[in-house]
Amino acid sequence: MFFSRLRKDIAAALVNDPAARNKLEILLTYSGVHALAWHRWANRLYRMHFKLLARITSQWAKFTTGIEIHPAAKIAAGVFIDHGAGVVIGETAEVEEGVVIYQGVTLGGTGKERGKRHPTIKRGVTISCGAKVLGGFTVGEGAKIGAGAVVLSEVPPHATVVGIPARVVRLCGKRVEG
């Protein structure tokens, strides 16, 4: 199971990074791949109720990769974190396969509410540099979030959002006026 997920993460890097030359280079040098591998171990410990050990593992991964992922976050295989420094993924976040996350992205909450307080990122979403996706809503399949955007509400599938606060500027490839 671990190795099949690792293979999918490496394959995602090959597909999404034009600078990626081969699988060995990705395995040895890509901090996003390392962070996801550490996260999978921390998540397993968390689900086994070794929560302190899981948090220690996630903090070690943050120290070594610059990417902070809460051990309870649900992340599918085949996610690509590119130049991952400063990426933060919160406790109740869910990230589906085929998602691309660039540096400085936060998948966070907006306060001290309980329950589902971090976003669900559907398949094939691209989240650009420095974007903040804050709250317990869904970003629809194939959506694109522009660099520096602050997303505070649901994003429809195949939409492009930009700005602070983020607004839809394209939907299914067509410009949205407004």
pLDDT digits (tens, 9 = 90+) for 22-70: 999 999 999 999 999 999 999 999 999 999 999 999 999 999 999 999 9
CB 54, CB 46: distance < 8 Å = yes
Q: Quote the domain boundaries for residue 150.
A: 2-175
Sorting pLDDT into bands at 50, 70 and 90, what band is 109? very high
Q: For residue 98, which of 69, 132, 68, 75 has the smallest C-alpha distance?
A: 75
Query: Residue 41's CB: how many other CB atoms inside 10 A?
Result: 17
Cα–Cα distance for residue pair 101/84, rounded to 1 Å:
8
Q: How many domains does the chain have?
A: 1
pTM of this prediction exceeds 0.85: yes
Other residues' Cβ atoms within 10 Å of the Cβ of residue 85: 12
Q: Is 45 helix (H, G, I), strand (E, B) or coil?
A: helix
Unique residue bearing structure tokens 């220690």: 56
- CATH number of the domain encompassing residue 165: 2.160.10.10
